[in-house]
Structure 1
Amino acid sequence: MSFSQFFKNLGPGPVIAAAFIGPGTVTVCTLAGVNFGYSLLWALVISIIATVALQEISGRIGISTGQDLSQLLRNSNSQPVLKYFSMTLVLLAIVLGNAAYESGNITGGNLGLQIFWDSPELNLGIFQVQTGNFLIGTIALLLLFFGNYKTLERILIGMVILMSLAFIITAFLTKPDWKNVLPGFIPTWNNQEFLTIVSLIGTTVVPYNLFLYASLANKRWKKTDGVSWMRKDIGISVILGGFVSMAILLVGASNTSTEVSSAIDVSKGLEPIFGPVAKYLMGIGFLAAGLTSSLTAPLAAGLVVCGIFGWNQDLKSTSMRASIGVVLMLGLIFSSLGIKPVQLITLAQLANGILLPLISAWIIWIGSKKSIMGELKNSNSAIAIYLMIWLITLILGLKSIGAVFGIW
């Protein structure tokens, strides 16, 4: 099989990489490098392993059952109170959460855009409109409304490649000290690093991506013989995405700025190393990261809403356009007017904190049932690994809940 044929047979895995490498991931990885050097690279390795494992289960469930996770939840025969509680929790965590975080995706993309174009603010009465945010949000809206799944997949693959090249080239131009890089893959930590470790893993293991990939895998591969391609697809995509996250951390570790609050600040600190090209590379990376997440967050929310309520999940259907439109328009309004949806974010953080360990446990359980999965069920040898990964999701969930109540 030729190289081109191999990649032609792959599926929507790059969409998942595009989804988890957003402005939040770029900022967290950057600050991990700024504050702790190369010492937390091992945490990214763990996050990659956990993400590949959970996404593989969700893709396998989608192909085996012919349903995505939201449809499976709606059609389950579980006790009604538990069933409707789960459906409500999913809607709160993914729909409200993605609406709130969408404003951050759009704003993050605009940070990269500002490197190339200083977008003006428009005063409309009591409101100040951030035109850069409005432009990025509008582009995302048009692509989602007038594209199809195949078109979106190609656009996202292109942006992931662009983003990857920008960050990886930047990392190599910083000429990291590889002798000091390699020990960073050996797990060690202290109390100061713990929250950053949790954040690094938490930005990669994302609940809505489990729903998103099950749905896209089900649309891409209708027969169980597609499972081997699905595994290659998600493995290659997440691992490459992990390399991008590591490259961003290496860039952060090479920073010379005294004050750093975002990846754009790092680009200024890199200018003494290799000139103004740093600014433009980071700008491209941040713009691509923001735009890709601005597409995937509303798409995932739309698929979940339509799956939960049993509506048509075709991208051009009224139900999908309405669901996507609500999430994206809220993000567009919040970002364009400079509104911080604190209450929405707090509620979403709480719901996500509860949802992540529950949905991880649920898909591991579903994946282990022969009555549902047939020959595609989880192997006995893999269950111990899945349980260890579930413990990681439990810690992440508790951290999110603790953050809401100011405990952690």
Structure 2
Amino acid sequence: MQRLGPGLVTGAADDDPSGIATYSQTGAQFGTGLMWTLVLCYPLMVAVQLASARVGRVTGKGLATSIKKIMPRWLIIALVALLFVANTINVGADLAAMGEATALVVPFSKHIYTAAFAIVSLLLQLHVPYHRYSSWLKWLTLVLLTYVALLFMVKIDWSETLSGLFIPRIDGREGITTVVAIFGTTISPYLFFWQAAQEVEELDQNEEREPLTRNGEQAPDAFNRIRWDTFAGMAVSNIVALAIILGTAATLHHAGKTDIQSAADAANALKPVAGNLAFLIFCLGIVGTGLLAVPVLAGSSAYAVCEIGGWSASLEAKPKHAKVFYLVIALGVVLSIAIDWSPVSPMKALFWSAVLNGIAAVPVLVGLMIVVARKEIMQQFVGSLSLRAFGWLATVVMAAAVAAMAATSF
């Protein structure tokens, strides 16, 4: 675990409760038919996150700081505003799913549980220093193994699984919408900002490390660590996503339970089909991944806002030394509680979160790929040809996903 850090936490946070809801709905509705999307996503995710980490490690600055050098200020402010709104909606949906899952196991008000999780997460971010908090987040990724364990409790049709993994097919308009949702929840802008910011945090906490623009001799070891970390982190993300799709395909889809509206809904539907243990494991996973994802979502918004405004941004700093940073985090969490009490359904909220993320992702990816190839910013550490090729391919795929989402929605 020593060589793993920002990439592992970023990948694990990608499997948040809203992601679990998307993957559960995919497995329940389409069986194993859309598993190929995650095979396609893996190299694209790796390229984008490698580029994000590279920018942070080379420059010693967050992603927004670098992108604002090549984009109009009004555009980067608009993108960060979209990021904040989308992340806040996502945090609200994740907290609601955690509250609902807990209420299924220990009956009580799901709204109270939701508020409690929000307050605990906020207090941890406010009062626990980064070096300790990041270690907790890293170990918390182990909760994702619960979804892999689920596969040992159900009967898997392996020939059907292999077909779903390697033979692309899309069934109708709903299939297109689901593919777009998978791409949207897997390649999200908040992950780019978070991983770059965590590379900067790692620099700040290790006196021997310097930005590579100042000390290029550290480059071989730094890039080797980033590669291991990112390849492993994105692999964890995709393996868990595949396990959720496969588990719900083998149980809910085969039992004819195809209408899943939330992660907690999937857990509840599993109970009569796969038994109490599978139900409890699924609920534990929702709560654990939520505790991991909420600080990543809220933190990425705060990093981006502060980088644009030139304010101090660090989870290691005490609140009085990074007031704007922690204010943005607190605002996002408080507003997310309000979303839980609003009449807006969680699935509708997640839909609009996906729309906003999709809109923001394409220009952010364009900015990222320009930055990672710009010698004035990266000096001799510009991204390799293969990194840039896969990064631009991810940009094209996300642009196509946004276009498909617009076409199927309107």
Q: Which residue of 1 aligns with 2:206?
A: none
Q: Which residue of 2 aligns with 1:297?
A: 297
Q: Which residue of 2 aligns with 1:66?
A: 60
8 Å Cα contact 2:62/2:200 also seen in 1: yes
Do structure 1's residue 388 and structure 2's residue 393 form an aligned pair? yes
1:261 deviation in Å?
2.8
Which residue of the other structure, out of 300, 303, 320, is the alignment partner of 2:325? 320
What is the alpha-carbon distance in structure 2 between the residues aligned to residue 289 and residue 9 of structure 1? 21
The aligned length equals 384
8 Å Cα contact 1:167/1:247 also seen in 2: yes
Do structure 1's residue 366 and structure 2's residue 371 form an aligned pair? yes
What is the alpha-carbon distance in structure 1 between the residues aligned to residue 13 and residue 95 of structure 2? 13
Q: Which residue of 1 aligns with 2:134?
A: 153
Equivalent positions of 1:14-93 (< 5 A) are: 14-74=8-68, 76=69, 78=70, 83-93=72-82
8 Å Cα contact 1:264/1:279 also seen in 2: no
Which residue of the other structure, out of 340, 343, 357, is the alignment partner of 2:344? 340
Q: Which residue of 2 aligns with 1:204?
A: 186
Q: Which residue of 1 aligns with 2:284?
A: 284
Q: Secondary structure at the match of 1:176?
A: coil
What is the alpha-carbon distance in structure 2 between the residues aligned to residue 167 and residue 143 of structure 1? 26
Comparing 189-198 with 325-334, greater Cα deviation is found at 189-198
1:216 deviation in Å?
0.6
Q: How much identity, in percent, do the aligned residues show?
A: 21
Q: Given residue 261 of structure 1, which amino acid in structure 2 is its aligned partner? A: Q
What is the alpha-carbon distance in structure 2 between the residues aligned to residue 328 and residue 341 of structure 1? 18
What is the alpha-carbon distance in structure 1 between the residues aligned to residue 35 and residue 407 of structure 2? 25
1:238 deviation in Å?
1.1
Quick one: structure 1 residues 270 and 106, their matched pair in 2 at CA, closer, same or farther if it must change by over 3 Å? closer
Quick one: structure 1 residues 151 and 116, their matched pair in 2 at CA, closer, same or farther if it must change by over 3 Å? farther
8 Å Cα contact 2:18/2:263 also seen in 1: no
Comparing 352-361 with 32-41, greater Cα deviation is found at 352-361
What is the alpha-carbon distance in structure 1 between the residues aligned to residue 2 and residue 133 of structure 2? 15
Q: Which residue of 2 aligns with 1:179?
A: 159
8 Å Cα contact 2:67/2:367 also seen in 1: no
1:348 deviation in Å?
5.8
What is the TM-score with the length of structure 2 in the denominator? 0.86
Equivalent positions of 1:187-336 (< 5 A) are: 187-192=167-172, 193-221=175-203, 222=210, 223=212, 224=219, 225-254=221-250, 255=252, 256=255, 258=257, 259-272=259-272, 274-315=274-315, 316=318, 317-335=322-340
What is the alpha-carbon distance in structure 1 between the residues aligned to residue 242 and residue 155 of structure 2? 14
Q: Secondary structure at the match of 1:142?
A: helix
What is the TM-score with the length of structure 1 in the denominator? 0.87
Q: Which residue of 1 aligns with 2:95?
A: 106
Q: 5+ unaligned residues in a row in structure 2: which ranges?
A: 204-209, 213-218
1:60 deviation in Å?
0.4
Q: CA RMSD in A?
A: 2.4
Q: Which residue of 2 aligns with 1:4?
A: none
8 Å Cα contact 1:111/1:286 also seen in 2: no
Quick one: structure 1 residues 150 and 257, their matched pair in 2 at CA, closer, same or farther if it must change by over 3 Å? farther
1:363 deviation in Å?
1.2
Q: Which residue of 2 aligns with 1:118?
A: 107
What is the alpha-carbon distance in structure 2 between the residues aligned to residue 261 and residue 286 of structure 1? 14
Quick one: structure 1 residues 346 and 197, their matched pair in 2 at CA, closer, same or farther if it must change by over 3 Å? closer
Q: Which residue of 2 aligns with 1:3?
A: none
1:247 deviation in Å?
0.5
What is the alpha-carbon distance in structure 1 between the residues aligned to residue 388 and residue 8 of structure 2? 26
Q: Secondary structure at the match of 1:203?
A: helix
Q: Which ranges of 4 or more aligned residues in structure 1 deviate by more than 4 Å?
A: 341-351, 399-403
Comparing 47-56 with 85-94, greater Cα deviation is found at 85-94
What is the alpha-carbon distance in structure 2 between the residues aligned to residue 251 and residue 347 of structure 1? 27
8 Å Cα contact 1:97/1:344 also seen in 2: no
Q: Which residue of 2 aligns with 1:131?
A: 112
What is the alpha-carbon distance in structure 2 between the residues aligned to residue 329 and residue 85 of structure 1? 27
Quick one: structure 1 residues 341 and 86, their matched pair in 2 at CA, closer, same or farther if it must change by over 3 Å? farther
What is the alpha-carbon distance in structure 2 between the residues aligned to residue 20 and residue 146 of structure 1? 24
Q: 5+ unaligned residues in a row in structure 1: which ranges?
A: 1-6, 122-129
1:296 deviation in Å?
1.2
Q: Given residue 313 of structure 1, which amino acid in structure 2 is its aligned partner? A: A
Quick one: structure 1 residues 308 and 346, their matched pair in 2 at CA, closer, same or farther if it must change by over 3 Å? farther
What is the alpha-carbon distance in structure 2 between the residues aligned to residue 263 and residue 302 of structure 1? 27
CA deviations on 1:145-198 (whole Å, 9 max, x unpaired) are 111222222222232211x12111112211311122111111321342222112
8 Å Cα contact 2:298/2:329 also seen in 1: yes
Quick one: structure 1 residues 71 and 401, their matched pair in 2 at CA, closer, same or farther if it must change by over 3 Å? farther
1:382 deviation in Å?
4.2
1:372 deviation in Å?
2.4
